[in-house]
Structure 1
Amino acid sequence: MAATAPITQDVHTIPRRAPEGGAVNLIGLTRPQLTAALIDAGTPARQAKMRADQLWQWIYYWGVRDFAAMTNLAKGYRALLAERFTLAVPEVMRREVSADGTRKYLLRIQGGHEVEAVYIPEEGRGTLCLSSQVGCTLTCSFCHTGTQRLVRNLTAAEIVGQVLIARDDLADWGVPGQPKREERLVSNLVLMGMGEPLYNFEAVRDAMRICMDGEGIALGRRRITLSTSGVVPEIARTAREIGCLLAVSFHATTDEVRDTLVPINRKWNIAALLEALREYPRLSNAERITFEYVMLKGVNDSDADARRLVRLISGIPAKINLIPFNEWPGAPYERSDWARIEAFADIIHKAGYASPIRTPRGEDIMAACGQLKSDTERARKTRAEVALEAGLPVPPRVVRRPHAPDHPDTTG
């Protein structure tokens, strides 16, 4: 059967802005932070933990974001909550569905910035790929996201909000008063979207702790994978404070090549990265580390590279994900030939490591690995245009310029 064309649905929603007076957004607060916020709003300290538990269940178990619908709270207390707090998530600007079922969400956050999240359905599971920054500072030369400048870190609320939005769209919540649902469509999270998670550690940590909390979204730590390009000082901290599975964007077997593909290697080279990775399974009780390796024709895909990779990771419990390069307009690389990818995988497999070849997903909607990039950057909007769309004051002394097509920065 021929593949159907991608479906694009423009979703027009009312921006969920904080009311006048600076209402506090409860989404993204950890349990202690939520309890403290309720006490600050006048909830008696002896009741605050119970109220926090009730709110937590409504928000993260039932997916309710209307205080009036939280029927086990007194009407007067619900009115107080509505006056003092908000339950705000990013605004869905567009939702695209690929021919293979992959869903990509373009989300607008505070300040008029945009990020993307991607949901990938698979047999028996569904993986949501989360962004942690607006843009990226790493400038990996093969990555489309890396051609977008870093704007700012996402808050914990904006990271958790991506999970809530996807579950809304998939109708993945239970119904209050009805039996508990055992199945879930969002069963796994991967921090592999826009940005470097370990350059936004605190917000990522808090968001993942919220997602792992057993009274709410309740995803076990082994259902969450954080991908880093190699921020070595934060790797041990990730093991201690999050404890999720770890993936590393490796992509090369010599410092010379990795310096170009993943420029952070100039700060923490392959030897330093591997030293930190050898400790991670012990510190986090993780079974193994995933090495992500994008296959670039004539760059990093030789038999010699495969054998060198095996030697480098010797002694580390590992899986190697081989990723056929997902091309984007102006990309400076080509995807390795399929026979070359299979030969590379065979060498790794014979050395005793799992070496699955990742099936590209969502390419027809630019949702595949390394292709995420916000519409703001694609269209080269000015700061003034972004501010106007967000209803914010126009920055002073902004020189307007015409829209221009993308032109990737492949330096470094």
Structure 2
Amino acid sequence: MALSLDLTQDDTRAALAAQAITRADEKPSLIGMDRADMAAALIEAGIPQKQARMRASQLWQWIYWYGHTDFAAMTNIAKDLRAKLADNFTLERPELVEELISTDGTRKWLFRFPARGAGAPVEVETVYIPESDRGTLCISSQVGCTLTCTFCHTGTQKLVRNLTAEEILMQLMVARDRLGDFPDKPPVKAAAKNEEEAFIPDGDRKVSNIVMMGMGEPLYNFEHVKKALLIASDNEGLSLSKRRITLSTSGVVPGIERTGDEIGCGLAISLHATNDELRDVLVPINKKYPIAKLLDACRNYPGASNSKRITFEYVMLDGVNDSLADAKELVRLLKGIPAKINLIPFNPWPGSQYECSSWEKIEAFAEFVNANGYASPVRTPRGRDIFAACGQLKSESERMRKKDRETAEFAARAEALVQPAAE
């Protein structure tokens, strides 16, 4: 069941409980549980209440620090208890359907998560972008998207459902598995043909940064995203600095203050236009939360400062939003907001109505914004050849469902043709 939260409601937890998505199998995963959830689950499984908190702390370290997927390897837990844990819980990773590696080293993984409730298995894409000094993982929060931004390929896929905290975290955990980013675990041999392109950054952390910029609108799945990011930033587990976690929103205004107060991560805004008339077309949620309301929420974002600036994402569309007048208006709009502006060359996809601005226009735009006091780096397109670049993510689920329908229809027609002869 798809769950799209209206963040103007106070009782979002009640909404989640009412529409809870459960695993199709009966064995729940401990991944995605916070400490309180884990202790409660252990008590439910018959572990004495006096032990539950201590056992939850042990499991927390094995699961999130060491990345173990086998209870039998958890050597400071008694053998009979390990067997009981294995009987009641799972740490199983999702199915890795496909791994693609770009000529620039970017990796894209297609994950298939099991069915939940009455639903079917779902697929999402996750992208890893290695650089010499960092590795950034772009994580999805939903299967599909409701926002239909006209320049975004993901927006052409209808929303199937929200991802759970477990499924959000699994993207990070599998990335760390494959990159050898857990202690004493070597990298997994890449499945792609051009494996030699799959370089890994120097340094202790292969995944040093995460961005909630994959499929979906994170603030329409706030509770699960919040839970996942708080676990990811827990210093006794996955231990990512909140300064290296960024949540990107298309402008769900009621969720912006909550993000700062309850998660405390960096904020990115998909702006892309400097007036409501154009943004209504490019980012239709603007009709509900226009630019003025969005920027007011940014000015009041908890923790925003010159050392923790809000990132404004601005895709460069030829003849649409790339004029010098647009650059001047952008500078005027952002006055008083500690901000930087990421200029994103448009990444084409089949059927798109837009083209990327010329490099001359992009450079002129960047120079003007820089001269007026805002850092405006031009994002180098990464992974275009494997459709892993910004705005290009779209799972194969819809295509596969269409193919299945066509196959079934063809089989039915063939059976109808053969049936009279058989009689």
- TM-score, normalised relative to structure 2: 0.84
Seen in structure 2, the aligned counterparts of structure 1 residues 213 and 83 have a Cα distance that, compared at 3 Å, is: same
Deviation at 1:383, TM superposition (A): 7.5
**Which ranges in structure 2 are unaligned for 5 or more consecutive residues?**
1-21, 115-119, 186-201, 412-423
Alignment match of 2:329 (pick from 291, 308, 316): 308
CA contact (8 A) 2:261 2:302 kept: no
**Equivalent residue for 2:208?**
187
Alignment match of 1:67 (pick from 62, 65, 71): 71
**CA-to-aligned-CA distance 1:70-127 (integer Å, 9 cap, x gap):** 1111100000000011113321100011111100000111222110000000121000
**CA-to-aligned-CA distance 1:222-265 (integer Å, 9 cap, x gap):** 11000000000111111111010000000000000000000000
Deviation at 1:382, TM superposition (A): 6.2
Alignment map for 1:45-84 (pairs within 5 Å): 45-84=49-88
User: Structure 1 stretches (4+) deviating beyond 3 angstroms?
Assistant: 17-20, 281-286, 382-386, 399-402
Residues in 2 aligned to 1:78 and 1:200: alpha-carbon distance in whole angstroms: 34
Report which stretch shifted further, 274-283 or 151-160: 274-283
Alignment map for 1:238-253 (pairs within 5 Å): 238-253=259-274
CA contact (8 A) 2:242 2:264 kept: yes
Alignment match of 1:155 (pick from 147, 157, 164): 164
**Equivalent residue for 1:41?**
45
Residues in 2 aligned to 1:18 and 1:320: alpha-carbon distance in whole angstroms: 40
Indicate the SS of the match to 1:115.
Answer: strand
**Which ranges in structure 1 are unaligned for 5 or more consecutive residues?**
1-16, 387-398, 403-412
Alignment match of 1:349 (pick from 340, 346, 370): 370
Aligned length, in residue pairs: 369
CA contact (8 A) 1:93 1:108 kept: yes
Deviation at 1:286, TM superposition (A): 7.0
Residues in 2 aligned to 1:59 and 1:127: alpha-carbon distance in whole angstroms: 21
Aligned-residue Cα RMSD (Å) equals: 2.2
Alignment match of 1:173 (pick from 143, 161, 182): 182
**CA-to-aligned-CA distance 1:366-411 (integer Å, 9 cap, x gap):** 000000001122455367699xxxxxxxxxxxx8489xxxxxxxxx
Indicate the SS of the match to 1:227.
Answer: strand
Indicate the SS of the match to 1:200.
Answer: helix
Matched, 1:88 2:109: no
Residues in 2 aligned to 1:84 and 1:139: alpha-carbon distance in whole angstroms: 41
Indicate the SS of the match to 1:334.
Answer: coil
Alignment match of 2:339 (pick from 318, 340, 348): 318
* Paired amino acid for 2:266: L
Deviation at 1:19, TM superposition (A): 9.4
**Equivalent residue for 2:396?**
375
Indicate the SS of the match to 1:81.
Answer: helix
**Equivalent residue for 2:132?**
123
Indicate the SS of the match to 1:25.
Answer: coil
**CA-to-aligned-CA distance 1:30-59 (integer Å, 9 cap, x gap):** 111011111111111221111111111111
CA contact (8 A) 2:304 2:338 kept: no
Seen in structure 2, the aligned counterparts of structure 1 residues 37 and 208 have a Cα distance that, compared at 3 Å, is: same
Alignment map for 1:327-338 (pairs within 5 Å): 327-338=348-359
CA contact (8 A) 1:89 1:162 kept: no
- TM-score, normalised relative to structure 1: 0.86
Residues in 2 aligned to 1:212 and 1:335: alpha-carbon distance in whole angstroms: 36
**Equivalent residue for 1:199?**
220
**Equivalent residue for 2:28?**
24
Residues in 1 aligned to 2:242 and 2:155: alpha-carbon distance in whole angstroms: 27
Alignment match of 1:280 (pick from 293, 298, 301): 301
Residues in 1 aligned to 2:28 and 2:409: alpha-carbon distance in whole angstroms: 35
Indicate the SS of the match to 1:321.
Answer: strand
**Equivalent residue for 2:312?**
291
Residues in 2 aligned to 1:82 and 1:234: alpha-carbon distance in whole angstroms: 38
Seen in structure 2, the aligned counterparts of structure 1 residues 62 and 358 have a Cα distance that, compared at 3 Å, is: same
Alignment match of 2:284 (pick from 237, 245, 263): 263
Residues in 1 aligned to 2:265 and 2:181: alpha-carbon distance in whole angstroms: 23
Indicate the SS of the match to 1:166.
Answer: helix
* Paired amino acid for 1:337: S
CA contact (8 A) 1:231 1:268 kept: yes
